[in-house]
Chains A and B, each alone.
Chain A
């Protein structure tokens, strides 16, 4: 069965430093997509970055990059130059493309706190 695992319930990082949030996944589907979302205290889920299973290069979006290691089934989020506004909960999610439903399976989430 498909599964997403985030093993870090909480993380701290100093402002302006980089931080890596871990995500591993399990699927038997050869085609899938991996997502990261940010959820600030306001509750809204904000899409950050996407990686397709057949993408040759790691995805990047501004200060966010996804360290995709297919053989290890990991899709870690790297945030460079952390800002106080990055303090939030972060969710990793996966969609199995061939299931044709568009639904996402989410991990447990990691709470990130950026220290000034």
Chain B
């Protein structure tokens, strides 16, 4: 069974803290994505990666960085969390240009 696993379902952090969100997929997919989901806005792409150590900015990359040192793992980093980054974060993976994206269960981050 295909699987995308996100490290934390719920996190509470303070303004200014560094936050790591990790995502692991077991399907040998080339592409991995980080989306942010907010009410009324749907899912917005933060960053994506099409290969190890390769990354591209999505629509809302400000305040975020990513790391992909291994094919199966894609990390989202908030260097200095702010309250406007309180959101649900969804990681997805998929093959290049074919098929659907598979998603993890999401990480709900609250920044106080």
Partner among A6, A42, A43, A103 whose Cβ is within 8 Å of the Cβ of B33: A103
Q: Are A104 and B42 CB-contacts (below 8 A) given A43-B88, A43-B106?
A: no
Q: Are A108 and B56 in contact (CB under 8 A)?
A: no
Task: Pick the most buried of A6, A42, A45, A100: most chain B CB atoms within 10 A of its CB.
Answer: A45
Distance between Cα atoms of A39 and B20 in the complex (Å)? 24
* Chain A residue nearest in CB terms to B96: A102
Which B42-56 residues have a C-beta within 8 angstroms of A?
42-45, 48, 50, 56
Taking the complex as formed, is A28 at the interface, i.e. its CB lies under 8 A from any CB of chain B? no
Main secondary structure of the interface of B (DSSP, over half): strand
Contact residues in B for A91 (Cβ distance below 8 Å): 42-43
Q: Are B103 and A44 in contact (CB under 8 A)?
A: yes
Q: How many residues of B contact A (CB 8 A)?
A: 32
Q: Are A108 and B40 in contact (CB under 8 A)?
A: yes
Distance between Cα atoms of A9 and B41 in the complex (Å)? 11
B17 → chain A, closest Cβ, in Å? 23
Q: Are A44 and B42 CB-contacts (below 8 A) given A102-B95, A102-B97?
A: no
Partner among B30, B31, B43, B50 whose Cβ is within 8 Å of the Cβ of A106: B43
Distance between Cα atoms of A6 and B96 in the complex (Å)? 26
Contact residues in B for A100 (Cβ distance below 8 Å): 96-97
B24 → chain A, closest Cβ, in Å? 15
Interface membership of chain B positions 25-42, coded 1 if the CB is closer than 8 angstroms to chain A and 0 otherwise: 000001101010000111
A-B contact pairs, 8 of them (CB 8 A): A6-B42, A43-B108, A45-B90, A50-B99, A91-B43, A97-B97, A102-B30, A102-B98
